[in-house]
């Protein structure tokens, strides 16, 4: 029986392939920009060829995940204001299996509790327009959004004089929710917490 690659190994394989594509070692040569040979001869296609080569490889890895039931989950650790949380997240380069969705759904409440603890007294903003704009909201808005979503994830931006906590509340598949291309079956809302007087940057 052949060896089945682990989640961590697939992440490394994808990172190496992405680097090979970015440096031009992998190209999908048959890619054209417009489909019109007269126009395409005047347009540089190397960037598109690199991107498409990586997308094809990534799709093959996703098929491998499904066929071999290799999880897309990685375990993260976040520490804020002296409090630490370990939580599962689907790696951005991989897909989630149905068993992965059950795991992240089961951890939603612990992520929400941690977020509420570390954001006490902070201003809250809901992002919209692909995170280009933010609208101030309140804790009751967060609770309302949380009730209509299935899973949660966290990020933080922090330096010596700034802290921003981002809570992603989502539904459906995380990989489809990430770039809002899966709506309405998959999607997410991002809530930003910043110290009073600051504005979100993430």
pLDDT for res 26:
57
Lowest pLDDT segment from 40-54, 69-83, 104-118, 123-137: 40-54
Dihedral sign computed on CA atoms, order 176, 111, 162, 195: positive
Radius of gyration of the chain (CA): 20
- pLDDT surpasses 80 at 38: no
38-42, 55-59, 141-145: range with highest mean pLDDT:
141-145
Tens-digit pLDDT profile for residues 90-113: 999 999 999 999 999 999 999 999
- Region of residue 181 (phi > 0: left; psi between -120 and 50: alpha; otherwise: beta): alpha
Higher-confidence residue of 49 and 5: namely 5
- pLDDT surpasses 60 at 61: yes
- pLDDT surpasses 50 at 29: no
Q: pLDDT-based confidence at 187, cuts 50/70/90? A: very high
Count the neighbouring beta carbons within 10 Å of the beta carbon of residue 157: 14
pLDDT for res 30:
47
**151-159/83-90 β-pairing:** unpaired
Is-contact 196 123, C-beta < 8 A?
A: yes
pLDDT for res 50:
65
**83-90/133-137 β-pairing:** unpaired
**171 has which bridge partners?**
187
């Amino acid at each position: 029986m052949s060896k089945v690659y682990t989640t961590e190994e697939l992440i490394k394989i994808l990172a190496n392939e992405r680097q090979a594509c970015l440096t031009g070692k992998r190209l999908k040569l048959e890619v054209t920009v417009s489909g019109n040979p007269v126009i395409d001869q005047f347009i540089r296609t190397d960037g598109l060829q690199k991107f498409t080569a990586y997308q094809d490889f990534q799709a093959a890895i996703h098929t491998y995940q499904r066929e071999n039931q290799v999880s897309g989950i990685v375990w993260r650790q976040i520490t804020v204001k002296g409090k630490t949380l370990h939580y599962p997240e689907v790696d951005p380069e991989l897909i989630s299996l149905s068993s992965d969705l059950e795991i992240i759904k089961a951890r939603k409440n612990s992520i929400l509790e941690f977020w509420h603890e570390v954001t006490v007294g902070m201003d809250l903003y809901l992002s919209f327009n692909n995170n280009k704009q933010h609208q101030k909201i309140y804790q009751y808005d967060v609770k309302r959004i949380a009730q209509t979503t299935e899973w949660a994830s966290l990020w933080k931006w922090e330096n010596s004089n700034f802290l921003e906590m981002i809570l992603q509340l989502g539904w459906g598949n995380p990989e489809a929710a990430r770039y809002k291309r899966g709506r309405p079956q998959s999607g997410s809302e991002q809530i930003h917490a910043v110290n009073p007087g600051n504005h979100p940057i993430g």
